[in-house]
Structure 1
Amino acid sequence: MSAAEQDDRAESIRMIRDSAAALAPPGGDLKRIRDLRFQDPGFDAGLFRQMGEMGWIGLRVPEALGGAGLGLGEMCALAEELGGALVPEPLIAASLSAQLLAAAGRHGALPVLLAGEVLVLTAWQERPDTLEAPGTPDAPRRFLPMASGADFFLVPVREGDRLALYELPAARCVPKVERTQDGGNLGSIVPNLVEGTKLSDDIGPMLADGLDEAALVTAAYLLGGMERAFGMTLDYLRTRQQFGRIIGTFQALQHRAANLNMQLALTRASIEAAAATLDAGAIGDARRAAVSRAKARAAEASLLVQRECIQLHGGIGYTDDYDVGLYLRKAMVMANQYGSATLHRRRFMATSPEVEE
């Protein structure tokens, strides 16, 4: 990439971050997030529509199909900003569905999804902690984020050696919903293909790529939450006094904060490297290894950083009224989405050329 192209890319990413600030101000009030907790559908449909109007749902969809046609660098930058604001709207899941609809060649639902007028969720997961979509026709599909607000489900179904894609209206396939630690919800459905419409005979390769991208974007969302919680913690260390001194001057706490800062830097480097690798066109094992390295680090580091931030706040950090605890709750829910740290470490070991036999 030439210097001019690098400058253009940096400007594109900067503009994406600026656009995110309009809906998710950095360091903003979290009252909206608190008000949406443990409610149905768990997110603001009006704000989801605004995300569509700003082109976020179709960020990875080609321009010819109504999307923005941007790269993973831009998508990860957006997710990072949203993670810092704890945005509960299911943008990552909606973006996956948008890419599948675009790839399927049936675009009826795509325009309304890109506009944020409906929520379409992809019901691919049959068991915990996997990135594989078996497509068992009658198997329950689980762990659908914000499923109580879905209008349609996309269901991959194994037909011979291919993975077909069906669309089911949520009204004919009502999800069973369970609350999550952060106040959102996850749903399960049992697909009734008689009620569905077949969109594609083979969506397998696109789904595999889409799940990799969703894992990487989830890592970026976790990074945004880590950074915001760490910033809150530094502010606390700089103002809280004990024994007549600002506690941030205590060497032991400085060492702990320095370790957290290192975790943030390593996570950012891993995510940015993975986004650049995918945007450069990596395929196969190189693609999977880059994603897994980033997601494993983000999943593990997010829980470490968030727990340390709670402890560095002392007793107030454990209260639900104090905002730093919201970031730990969110990390507990999202760290395992699109694969846990354990799964991705295992996949990295199996796919990375850096690992010697």
Structure 2
Amino acid sequence: MARFDSRDETSILLEDSADEFLSHRFDPQRLRAQYQARSGYDRTFWAELAGQGWLALRLPEAMGGSELGIEHVAVLAHALGRHAAPDPFVACAVMPAVLATAAGSADTSSWRRIAAGQVTGKAVSTVAWQEGPFALDVGLPTTRAQRRQEGGFLLSGCKCQVVAGDWADILLVSASLDGEAALFAVQRTAPGVHVEGRLTSDGGTIATIEFRDLELPPDALLASGAPCLASLQQAVDEAMLATAAQLLGLADRAFEITLEYLRTRVQFGHPIGSFQALQHMAVDVRIGLALAAAACGAAVRLQSGQPGSTAARAAVAAAKARTSDTALLAGRFGVQAHGAIGFAAEADIGCYLKSAIRLAAWLGNGTQQRLRVARITDAKAEHLKDGA
């Protein structure tokens, strides 16, 4: 199994409990929901994740969470990846929890209500921050909020690529307010919110959401100013890293499934795993897994110790690039090794490839992330040059 190279006692216990729970409670038939054009999300299973305390893993203790670090989030994301679970753990548990750290600059009672729903699993929150299909870094939003004379705010704009945007109860929406970044809590069913959801390849959903002169009460404002922008960027960075860990788990299990098939499928009187061509392809995947695990481990250490630093952001982008490519490689090799059955709904390997396709694309594929590494490191070089 491809694991991170440094784990503490909490990580080991979390990994063991996650493997035990998911092996018994996750229904693999949910992976086939997309074949019937249905979402694979399950509110009952989401509540069970909450019952394990996993949705509150990253939440502050003052809000009922465990306040564990990104290294523990990565362990759980890896476990979910090994089961190709379509549940939006990263988008609807990790990102809102990271944003909750901005609560000190706004009305904390609003955050406490959101956190309470997350702790119990009774209310799902998702973050609506992207305003273009290729937006990977946080900037001043074009979605705008205006103060109303009678109190409250008026919100107008459009967000895209919102994971589970048609399934969540609460939308955490970034917007410009008085020339600064701000974050608002919006009920998905509120008048003036128009949601267009689409099914993804793995049974998840993404949505385009339009806000048309949406009236919001004063307590809808969760955070504003520079701390808000910094928290948004940290949430995106941690989401990229957690997704990288999920992709690593996905690739790891896909490769195991393929190796099992290579050992048992007999052709011309021999297991097909004895064929040299397939052995060479398997070696490529094995090397990719080792490199992806090393990249994730390095990114976890830097993000944990130096969050927001140039080194950490570059490492996170590199990890997302490496794991995206490796998961796609493992999935494609698996389907190819299985032959025609690999495309059938009965075969798990096809579901793993579908999940890899979606997760590799979300928050930037391998090519996009390598370009981000270049931009991040070039910006640091220019800064050092100017300061010389």
TM-score, reference length from structure 1: 0.91
Q: Which residue of 2 aligns with 1:157?
A: 175
Hey, what's the Cα distance between the residues in 2 that align with 1:210 and 1:92? 10
Q: Which residue of 1 aligns with 2:84?
A: 86
Q: CA, structure 1 residues 39+113, in 2 after alignment: closer, same or farther (shift >3 Å)?
A: farther
Q: Following TM superposition, by how much is the alpha carbon of 1:337 offset from its aligned partner in structure 2, in angstroms?
A: 1.1
Segment of structure 1 superposing worse, 14-23 or 89-98: 14-23
Q: Which residue of 2 aligns with 1:313?
A: 338
Hey, what's the Cα distance between the residues in 2 that align with 1:117 and 1:170? 15
Amino acid at match of 1:168: V
Higher strand share: 2
Hey, what's the Cα distance between the residues in 2 that align with 1:132 and 1:352? 15
Q: Which residue of 1 aligns with 2:152?
A: none
Q: CA, structure 1 residues 38+79, in 2 after alignment: closer, same or farther (shift >3 Å)?
A: farther
Q: Is the 8 A contact 1:229 1:309 kept in 2?
A: yes
3-state SS in 1 of match to 2:157: coil
Q: Which residue of 2 aligns with 1:47?
A: 45
Selected match of 2:290 from 222, 246, 265: 265
Q: Is the 8 A contact 1:53 1:115 kept in 2?
A: yes
Q: Following TM superposition, by how much is the alpha carbon of 1:79 offset from its aligned partner in structure 2, in angstroms?
A: 0.4
Selected match of 2:141 from 135, 154, 174: 135
Q: Which residue of 2 aligns with 1:3?
A: none
Selected match of 1:180 from 181, 200, 203: 200
Q: Is the 8 A contact 2:303 2:313 kept in 1?
A: no
Segment of structure 1 superposing worse, 89-98 or 192-201: 192-201
Q: Following TM superposition, by how much is the alpha carbon of 1:123 offset from its aligned partner in structure 2, in angstroms?
A: 0.6
3-state SS in 2 of match to 1:279: helix
Q: Is the 8 A contact 1:226 1:302 kept in 2?
A: yes
Superimposed CA distance per residue, residues 280-311 of structure 1 (whole angstroms, 9 cap, x where no aligned partner)? 12433112101011011111221122111111
Hey, what's the Cα distance between the residues in 2 that align with 1:28 and 1:48? 11
Q: Which residue of 1 aligns with 2:185?
A: 167
Amino acid at match of 1:236: Y
Structure 1 unaligned segments of length 5 or more: list them. Answer: 1-5
Q: Following TM superposition, by how much is the alpha carbon of 1:44 offset from its aligned partner in structure 2, in angstroms?
A: 1.1
Segment of structure 1 superposing worse, 128-137 or 45-54: 128-137
Q: CA, structure 1 residues 344+324, in 2 after alignment: closer, same or farther (shift >3 Å)?
A: same
Q: Which residue of 1 aligns with 2:124?
A: 119
Q: Which residue of 1 aligns with 2:148?
A: none
Q: Which residue of 2 aligns with 1:146?
A: 164
Structure 2 unaligned segments of length 5 or more: list them. Answer: 145-155, 383-388
Q: Could you tell me the percent identity over the aligned residues? A: 35
Q: Is the 8 A contact 1:51 1:57 kept in 2?
A: yes
The question of 1:195 aligning with 2:195 is answered no
Q: Which residue of 1 aligns with 2:349?
A: 324
3-state SS in 1 of match to 2:361: coil
Hey, what's the Cα distance between the residues in 2 that align with 1:139 and 1:303? 34
Q: Which residue of 1 aligns with 2:386?
A: none
Hey, what's the Cα distance between the residues in 2 that align with 1:115 and 1:39? 29
Hey, what's the Cα distance between the residues in 2 that align with 1:40 and 1:160? 41
Hey, what's the Cα distance between the residues in 1 that align with 2:163 and 2:114? 19
TM-score, reference length from structure 2: 0.84
Q: Following TM superposition, by how much is the alpha carbon of 1:27 offset from its aligned partner in structure 2, in angstroms?
A: 12
Task: Please identify runs of 4+ aligned residues in structure 1 that moved more than 3 A.
Answer: 26-29, 35-42
Segment of structure 1 superposing worse, 132-141 or 144-153: 132-141
Q: Following TM superposition, by how much is the alpha carbon of 1:332 offset from its aligned partner in structure 2, in angstroms?
A: 1.0
Q: Is the 8 A contact 2:234 2:308 kept in 1?
A: no
Hey, what's the Cα distance between the residues in 2 that align with 1:139 and 1:328? 34
Amino acid at match of 2:163: P
Superimposed CA distance per residue, residues 42-83 of structure 1 (whole angstroms, 9 cap, x where no aligned partner)? 311111112122221221222233211212221111101101
Superimposed CA distance per residue, residues 147-182 of structure 1 (whole angstroms, 9 cap, x where no aligned partner)? 222111011112244211111101112411111122
3-state SS in 2 of match to 1:156: strand
Hey, what's the Cα distance between the residues in 2 that align with 1:29 and 1:165? 36
Hey, what's the Cα distance between the residues in 1 that align with 2:264 and 2:360? 31
Q: Which residue of 2 aligns with 1:255?
A: 280
Hey, what's the Cα distance between the residues in 2 that align with 1:257 and 1:41? 32
